[in-house]
Amino acid sequence: MAIDVARYNRQFMEKVKSQEAIFNNAAEKYGVLVKTLAEQSVPLEAEQSVPLEAKQYWRVVGVHHLTGAENMSNHNVFCDVLDEDGRRLNSIRLKLAQGNMAPVYAVIDKPANEPGTNFPIWGETPSSVSVHSSNDAPLPSEEAPLPARFLPSWGRWQRRSR
């Protein structure tokens, strides 16, 4: 059984747009809690003089623990990145940090009927995935600390001033 990425991303975006808590069916059982910008010491600018693009960031919009049929015995984290309207953004780089190992990068480049990219994860080493912005358009990113067999999705989002 394939992962119905479009359905999950629609579900994720509907919850976010209606200002509900993000979809995360892995929080309680697996302890998957999104690391927000505030928890990473990324300040939210309250000044009106800050350019609009500087107020944007990559927000985790949903986390889905894959079923056995969706996972197909893989040890992967499948990822997607969306714009504000829920459309996939290709060519966005993601970063996997796993323990003391060097970070690994992957690009959103898969066909629309599958997750944008994926990372293999081995062992019980704590891992986290975030969007890795380019130097010419840096945006901070929330992190999704994950074991394998998950589908987190990020959306480009507007920061709100405090």
Q: What's the count of helices (H) and strands (E) in the chain, helices before strands? A: 3, 9
Residue 19 gets the label, from left (phi > 0), alpha (psi -120 to 50) or beta, of left
Would you state the pLDDT for residue 70? 86
Starting at the edge strand found earlier in the chain, the sheet holding 144-145 runs 104-107, 93-98, 127-132, 144-145
Which fold does the domain 5-158 belong to in CATH? Immunoglobulin-like (2.60.40)
C-alpha of 71 from chain center: 18
Question: Which residues are paired to 117 by β-bridges?
Answer: 79
State the CB neighbour count (10 A cutoff) for residue 92: 24
Mean pLDDT taken over the chain = 81
- Between 54 and 7, the higher pLDDT residue: 7
Which stretch of 33-47, 60-74, 83-97 has the lowest confidence by average pLDDT? 33-47
Q: Note whether 75 and 149 are within 8 A (CB).
A: yes
